[in-house]
Structure 1
Amino acid sequence: MNRRTDWTPGRWLRILLPTAVILVWFAAASFGGPTFGKLSSVSSNDQASFLPASAESTEVRDWQQKFTDSNAIPAIVLIESGSEIPPTALAGYAALGEKLGAVDGVQQPTGSATTAVAGPIPSKDGRAVEFIVPVVDANGVKTVVADLRTVVHDNLPADAQGWVTGPAGLTADLVNAFGGIDSILLLVAVGAVFIILLLVYRSVVLPFLVLLTSIFALTAAILLVYAFASWGWIKLSGQSQGILSILVIGAATDYALLLVARFRESLGEVESRWTAIGRAWRASLEPIVASGATVIIALLCLLFSDLNSNRSLGPIAAIGIVFSLLSALTLLPMLLVLFGRAAFWPFRPRFTGEEHHEASHAAGASVRGLEGITGLWRRVGTLIASRPRLTWVAALVLLGVCIAWLPQLKANGVSQTDVILSQSDAVDGQKVLARHFDAGSGSPVVIVTDEAKATATLAAVTSTPGISSASIYVGNVNPTDRPAGPPPAPVVKDGHVLINATLASQADSDSAEQVVRDLRDTLPATDPGVLVGGVTAIAFDTNVTAQSDLAKIIPIVLTVILLILMLLLRSILAPVLLIASVVVSYAAALGVSAFVFNDVLRFPGADAAVPLFGFVFLVALGVDYNIFLMTRVREESLRIGTRPGILRGLGVTGSVITSAGVVLAATFAALAVIPILFLVQIAFIVAFGVLLDTVVVRSLLVPALSYDIGGPIWWPSGLWRGHRGSPSRIVHSESAQQSR
């Protein structure tokens, strides 16, 4: 290490600098902390709002606004009786309909109607009735549905059961499932990280310093995300809210562990805590900034997505990584320098001096580069040095076995009733609804067609398999209050009419999506300008767009990360091999996930966005660990040569990178406490993928392959040219700097 770069600030600066930095972060936390509980108020889980404007179902949604001037979401109130309901009892059920219509947030009637609630509508088997309740309070769906359930519970006839389901009921239960994302998720993640840090460092103080760094980064990020969401600059959803918390805690802890490892190493070489933190900060700056920049840029590549939920996650998560970087490089150094060796109590690192440090490196090693390395990482290094090719081939075969299950991954989307993994009144109600009514009632397919072609289009819709009934929209008229006489005239807007078609199957099922495909294929023959939308079409368009995003964004992310690695390592071959390794690791993680999802957990499928989110997180974060490793390998290679440098880089970074991987896996695994299928699947894919990358790819595949290749790994940099000429020249140059 070049001692001339060591610097100890004056007394007043040693007092003022930590004080100023810590006060700034405390101020950010004091504002951001209370904002954490407010994120839900600017969060939306409406699937339709995440579709691009060009999607066909989005165009239909815009047309619906012209026809209805209402954002009403239908809730279906279903009453199932233990015996057949006589027609004379329907009058009593009508009273229930009026009480449902009186709930705050339900659409108010127009004209002479007493309520906007449609019903009671008896089932054909006479054992159930349903009400269609239009909920207009889009931001308060959870509260409105809860009130509707209270009314149903308090007014149930004897020997009857009731449910509130349909789009509004499912949305409310989805919001309830996300309810623990503000508190439970954070507590589980922080608790897991604390226990791991306690076991790894056997220190009482250090886990608190690292977690304080992570939590302050999260509070500052939340403050900015909340502001952007409230100003309408970004769209925040429950899933992006949960991912933000996990990503910041995991990433900030990873960066902190790298700095802590360097600080502990420096405390053994120098006595001054300020000199030690200066050395640690300079040594950690390049890999931490490079790692953070890689993740940030990879996340910002999501801006190329056509799906608004993907596009909004990019800047939200990138903001989190920015504050993780800032916190690890500003707040943590000041905390460490304040505590000094006491941060590692009760196992404080002792000052032994650089001469003793260098002598310990040179002692007792039969393999060059493993001097001073003991335990597991000495054994791993010895294995790589003795059998490099066998090691990386065996690692590659293991990954190949995992990849074999990849074709079984069913990431074509799942029905909304399968998204919620906890008990759901709406999901239960949908199952009962399918027993007595057309399962798609309350969630019609909406068709926009030319007025002149309305009759022909209606006939084509009615004849389509999977459609039980269809009618032209005639205004907000309650079917149960419709007067006798000729039917009302259709509502016409800009020369177009709406057709509402009831599906025979559940609106979010695969068979319902097939009906949407069939309608879009056949109806243009009747009206070339016809549009098909509705709840089912929204889900279908979301899946199609997500799959298109996957094919578009993966090449962009890989190219960007490859360029960053080339700049960082001053090489072409090494970055190409690193990118290839994380892609193989990603494919292996998806393969094992497919096996677990299908054969162990028996999931019905996976959200179409799961492979894309898994790719972005695993590739960006997987490259992080390779950056931590290879920057140290390059540093050591300049000093002692490539092959010894690979062994030494692996040995000195092995424990810290493994700890970082375990921490990140634990934080992402915490997502599984939220009973949402998408988050549980992301939790497993990323947690398992990070462990696979840390244990197999970074510990065995990359170092063994690099060792087997040797000096050419740095092609075409000056380090490679030095190996081609006189490797001793590089070593001598570095030794000369060390001696000055």
Structure 2
Amino acid sequence: MDADRARTTTTRWRPLVGRWASRIVVLVALIFSAVALGSGITGDESSNSVANLPADAESARASELQESLGTSKFTPVFAVFDRGGEKLSEEDRRFVGEKVRELQDLAAEGQKAFPVFAEDGAAAFVGVPLATDPSGDSYEEPVADIRELAAADLPDGLEAQATGGPAFSVDLSKVFDGADVRLLVTTAGVVALLLLLTYRSPWLWLVPLTVVAVADQVAATAVDVASRIFPFTVDGQSTGITSVLVFGAGTNYALLLIARYREELRREESRYDAMRVAWRQAAPAILASSGTVVLALLCLGFADSPSSRNIGYGGAIGILVAVVYALLVLPAAMTLFGRRLFWPFVPKVGQADPTATGFWSKVAAVVTGRPVLVSVAGVAVLAVLAIPLTGVAAGLSQTEQFRATPQSVTGQEVLAEHFAAGASQPTSLLTPTAAADDVRRAVAEVDGVDRVEPAGSADGTTVLTAVLGAEPASEAALETVESIREAAQGVEPKVLVGGADAESLDSETATARDQMLIIPMILAVVLLVLLVLLRSVVAAVLLVLTVVATFAASLGASWWAFQHWFDFPALDYSVPLLSFLFLVALGVDYNIFLTTRAKEEARRHDTKTAISVALAVTGGVITSAGILLAAVFTVLGVLPLIVLTQVGVIVGFGVLLDTLLVRSVLVPALVSLLGRRFWWPGALSREPVRADQ
């Protein structure tokens, strides 16, 4: 579409750019951003493990009841001592006895530290009861003190680690210590490098990077404000993912707008007119793309899992802020500096468009010249990459959550080797006191239960603790909890089973339910947006199928890599849903950018020529955007938490696959095969094929 035509369409929508308008917009944006960043508003945070469970989950109800009864006032940290499998010496035993007396000073008031020696004589632990803190915020100092004291003056060869529920909470929280700074610095560095390579200008990259970086910080404040108003909270995981989304999506939108702006600078003398035309051409695709992502993220609002809802609401707010800055602030900021911003490759009026004869025009000629062969080859590649899906395993135990190995993990591994593995985090049963003995006997007979003991009574309710033989949060432990519930509730239906393993089981159940509900909702949203945007059932269905195929191929290939390169035992339960959301919602962006340009060209050319021109013109910028987005998601790997590493790898690889194969090869080939039928039942499908103009 030429500039004259662009001016005659959608004239009521235009960016706020001009000699003074651009200055005013940038000034207002700076003032608003400064006020937002200086507001000092903090989000509603919760690190309580039960807060990440549905309110009606059995373990959540058990925790609430136990707290109201006052029977869960204390929780132990275990200082574990061993010699790597060798027997403890008499000196070691005396040392452990001395540690009991020293650690007693760290125990909660009225509680006693207690030693336990393994039957095989190769390990011992000292339990140190701490006052229960539902938020977990007060555990860091006592856990650090226990670790320091336990490791002081160790005999040669004796090792000490602290584990247990509070220790795991502390180690998990440390994963996110400084995470926002590390993510911001790493992400900004990656984006800066890729923008520099894309534009080959010593300063052009600074403008979009600055705008997106400010948008990221404003988005963080907006999420904090929203968490005080709406029913969701913020945590390290949701904050990190929101930041990645803002940087990735915001930079993508900037790349698309700047590419169209540079294109128009070759036609327009006035940089302001060039930006107005570019904005009117790029804004619909950017709005459709961002709207798709926002609606897909809001689908997580229907999730049972509070952590998924946090990511959904936080991410949606982040994308909204990113698109506002991309469409309002960036155009004004770009026009402040004129053409010299593009130095040394300054676009001049009348200059030929390099995309007409560039690399992507050659790719388009090959792809559309042999569409059958290319389509078959593309589908075959996706099918081969998806083959490993047949062996995917899901579910990580508590000790498998970290890429690094903190003390809580090594200590738990020693406990599991020499004691009942579940001793550090027993399962709790709350039962009417009248049925307590019958429930205890029934649970004691369950396979995988080491022992069952009473842990207090109040208000007609008795608390029993069951020590499991399986490692906490492992598949075996979750199966044992299911059996415990079946056995206990067979005796007394009012029994509630809680504890860390029960929470893991309920979280897994909620995640499985969310996948069954949310994935179809996301597909429906994406399909609806494409139908509204392209006015074509065939195009919408085809594009949805390609992004689903990309997800399957990415998940399959990543699972192979996790097994052979990363040595991950399984996927975290939340990974498939999050990966699907980001890949489908973000992956369809590039198809939107490509097909909206093809639709624009199809009004003047036959479909084969239209998709060829669209690929030639958008290929470079979309490929740059895809590589950048993939790199940004891979940045999640700077955090030593396996779930974020897995999401980063799957989405990063999937975006590259979508950018380099699906969008640039497979989709153009399929569009060429279908011809005008691709636009059915829209008006373009009924128009006669015209010669190129």
TM-score when normalising by structure 1: 0.87
Q: Deviations over 1:147-192 (max 9, x none)?
A: 3323333465676432211111111111112224211111111111
Find the partner of 2:413 among 427, 431, 437.
Answer: 431
Answer yes or no: is the 8 Å Cα contact 1:267–1:349 preserved in 2. yes
Mapping of residues 183-582 of structure 1, within 5 Å? 183-230=181-228, 233-352=231-350, 373-411=356-394, 413-474=395-456, 491-493=457-459, 495-582=460-547
After superposition, the Cα gap between the structure-2 partners of 1:89 and 1:631, relative to the gap in structure 1 and judged at 3 Å, is: closer
Residue number in structure 2 paired with 1:19? 23
Find the partner of 2:654 among 689, 704, 710.
Answer: 689
SS at match of 1:14: coil
**How far apart, CA to CA, are the structure 2 residues paired with 1:240 and 1:233?**
14
Residue number in structure 2 paired with 1:707? 672
After superposition, the Cα gap between the structure-2 partners of 1:234 and 1:606, relative to the gap in structure 1 and judged at 3 Å, is: same
After superposition, the Cα gap between the structure-2 partners of 1:707 and 1:18, relative to the gap in structure 1 and judged at 3 Å, is: same
Q: Kindly state the Cα deviation for residue 91 of structure 1 after the two structures are TM-superposed.
A: 5.5
Q: Kindly state the Cα deviation for residue 292 of structure 1 after the two structures are TM-superposed.
A: 0.3
Q: Deviations over 1:383-411 (max 9, x none)?
A: 12321111111101110111111122212
**How far apart, CA to CA, are the structure 1 residues paired with 2:48 and 2:633?**
24
Mapping of residues 87-236 of structure 1, within 5 Å? 92-101=98-107, 107-109=108-110, 116-126=111-121, 127-137=123-133, 138-154=136-152, 160-230=158-228, 233-236=231-234
SS at match of 1:209: helix
Aligned residues, how many? 680
Q: Which amino acid aligns with 1:429?
A: G
Find the partner of 2:79 among 77, 80, 86.
Answer: 77
Q: Which amino acid aligns with 2:683?
A: G
After superposition, the Cα gap between the structure-2 partners of 1:179 and 1:281, relative to the gap in structure 1 and judged at 3 Å, is: same
After superposition, the Cα gap between the structure-2 partners of 1:340 and 1:63, relative to the gap in structure 1 and judged at 3 Å, is: same
Q: Which amino acid aligns with 2:61?
A: E
Q: Deviations over 1:68-119 (max 9, x none)?
A: 2656553222234751468876763332232222xxxxx432xxxxxx2441
Q: Which amino acid aligns with 1:381?
A: A
After superposition, the Cα gap between the structure-2 partners of 1:73 and 1:329, relative to the gap in structure 1 and judged at 3 Å, is: farther
After superposition, the Cα gap between the structure-2 partners of 1:45 and 1:377, relative to the gap in structure 1 and judged at 3 Å, is: same
Residue number in structure 2 paired with 1:104? none
SS at match of 2:176: helix
After superposition, the Cα gap between the structure-2 partners of 1:664 and 1:528, relative to the gap in structure 1 and judged at 3 Å, is: same
SS at match of 1:22: helix
**How far apart, CA to CA, are the structure 2 residues paired with 1:700 and 1:302?**
32
SS at match of 2:318: helix
Answer yes or no: is the 8 Å Cα contact 2:106–2:142 preserved in 1. no
Q: Which amino acid aligns with 1:229?
A: S
Answer yes or no: is the 8 Å Cα contact 2:421–2:469 preserved in 1. yes
Identity of aligned residues (%): 37
**How far apart, CA to CA, are the structure 2 residues paired with 1:88 and 1:205?**
68
Find the partner of 1:655 among 586, 606, 620.
Answer: 620
Residue number in structure 2 paired with 1:51? 53
Answer yes or no: is the 8 Å Cα contact 1:507–1:536 preserved in 2. yes
After superposition, the Cα gap between the structure-2 partners of 1:13 and 1:212, relative to the gap in structure 1 and judged at 3 Å, is: closer
Higher mean C-alpha deviation, range 83-92 or range 270-279: 83-92
Q: Kindly state the Cα deviation for residue 225 of structure 1 after the two structures are TM-superposed.
A: 1.2
Answer yes or no: is the 8 Å Cα contact 2:53–2:306 preserved in 1. yes
**How far apart, CA to CA, are the structure 1 residues paired with 2:297 and 2:432?**
43
Q: Which amino acid aligns with 1:398?
A: V
Higher mean C-alpha deviation, range 55-64 or range 129-138: 129-138
Answer yes or no: is the 8 Å Cα contact 1:438–1:504 preserved in 2. yes
**How far apart, CA to CA, are the structure 1 residues paired with 2:567 and 2:615?**
39
Residue number in structure 1 paired with 2:65? 63
SS at match of 1:468: strand
After superposition, the Cα gap between the structure-2 partners of 1:442 and 1:132, relative to the gap in structure 1 and judged at 3 Å, is: farther
SS at match of 2:440: helix
Q: Kindly state the Cα deviation for residue 14 of structure 1 after the two structures are TM-superposed.
A: 3.1
After superposition, the Cα gap between the structure-2 partners of 1:303 and 1:722, relative to the gap in structure 1 and judged at 3 Å, is: same
SS at match of 1:529: coil
Q: Kindly state the Cα deviation for residue 146 of structure 1 after the two structures are TM-superposed.
A: 1.9
| 1:3 aligned onto 2:9 | no
After superposition, the Cα gap between the structure-2 partners of 1:248 and 1:616, relative to the gap in structure 1 and judged at 3 Å, is: same
Q: Deviations over 1:691-720 (max 9, x none)?
A: 000011100111110111101111111111
SS at match of 1:183: helix
Answer yes or no: is the 8 Å Cα contact 1:8–1:274 preserved in 2. no
**How far apart, CA to CA, are the structure 1 residues paired with 2:45 and 2:90?**
44
After superposition, the Cα gap between the structure-2 partners of 1:154 and 1:638, relative to the gap in structure 1 and judged at 3 Å, is: same
**How far apart, CA to CA, are the structure 2 residues paired with 1:86 and 1:154?**
13
Higher mean C-alpha deviation, range 44-53 or range 557-566: 44-53
Q: Which amino acid aligns with 2:234?
A: L
Q: Which amino acid aligns with 2:433?
A: E
SS at match of 1:422: coil
Higher mean C-alpha deviation, range 246-255 or range 54-63: 54-63
Answer yes or no: is the 8 Å Cα contact 1:97–1:119 preserved in 2. no
Q: Which amino acid aligns with 1:416?
A: Q
Larger Rg: 1
**How far apart, CA to CA, are the structure 2 residues paired with 1:139 and 1:529?**
32
Name structure 2 gaps, 5 residues minimum.
Answer: none
